[in-house]
Amino acid sequence: MKIQFLFSIFVFLSFIGCQDEGSPVSPNPNNGGSSNISYSSTILPILNANCVSCHGSSGGWSVSALTTAVNNRTLMSLRGASGDRLITPNDPAQSEIYDRITDDNPSRRMPPSGSLTTEQINLIRNWITQGANP
Ligand code: HEC
């Protein structure tokens, strides 16, 4: 009896011990978090609410051209007026859109009035880091 009781405590404690070994689903800011961020359900609504009024379909980059490039996996050829890539999959630092929403210079920072929330900026960065998937 006593041995069985001690044995069950041992089993219980080893089970608890296993729980502490680090969860495989813990978010990792370096890889953009564990769950895949969807362009159509997460990123596009941010752009539609904050950018499309000026970046519609005429002049400069447009949200619709970006959507087409995301869906067709042709982001590497999509460039802004500056000649820089708007989005370089896996590389926010080489992405003009990320550059402009985080610019320290208020006259360059997008959108021109106010700015995106930290959460929105992180979502866009993590989406790019994950490969800018549709
Ligand atoms: C009120 C109008 C307005 C809004 C809203 C706006 N932009 Fe802009 N954006 C401009 C104008 C005008 C320019 C061109 C002048 C410049 O480069 O600053 C520009 C330029 C840019 C460029 C550089 C384009 C290039 O061809 O190199 C990027 C990238 C950009 N915007 C991203 C965004 C993003 C992302 C948003 C939404 C978060 C946004 N903008 C919202 C007016 C706007």
118 belongs to a structural domain? yes
| Residue-number span of the structural domain to which 96 is assigned | 44-134
23 belongs to a structural domain? no
**Number of domain units in the chain:** 1
Residue 85 has what DSSP assignment?
Answer: B
pLDDT for res 35:
83
Which of 63, 67, 103, 110 to mutate for ligand 1's pocket (most ligand atoms within 8 Å of CB)? 110
Which residue type is seen at 40? Answer: S
122 belongs to a structural domain? yes
pLDDT for res 60:
81
pLDDT for res 94:
97
89 belongs to a structural domain? yes
131 belongs to a structural domain? yes
120 belongs to a structural domain? yes
Query: Is the CB of residue 47 less than 8 Å from the CB of residue 54?
Result: no
132 belongs to a structural domain? yes
Residue 29's contacts (CB-CB under 8 Å, 6 or more residues apart) are 126
Helices (H), the chain: 2-19, 44-50, 63-72, 96-101, 118-129
Which residue numbers in the chain have pLDDT < 50?
A: 6-7, 9-31
Which of 48, 99, 100, 123 to mutate for ligand 1's pocket (most ligand atoms within 8 Å of CB)? 100
67 belongs to a structural domain? yes
Ligand 1 site residues (CB inside 6 A) read 50-51, 53-55, 60-61, 80-82, 96-97, 100-101, 108, 110-112, 116
pLDDT for res 58:
67
Nearest CA owner, ligand 1 atom 14: 60
pLDDT for res 16:
43
- CA-based R_g, the chain, Å: 22
pLDDT for res 8:
52
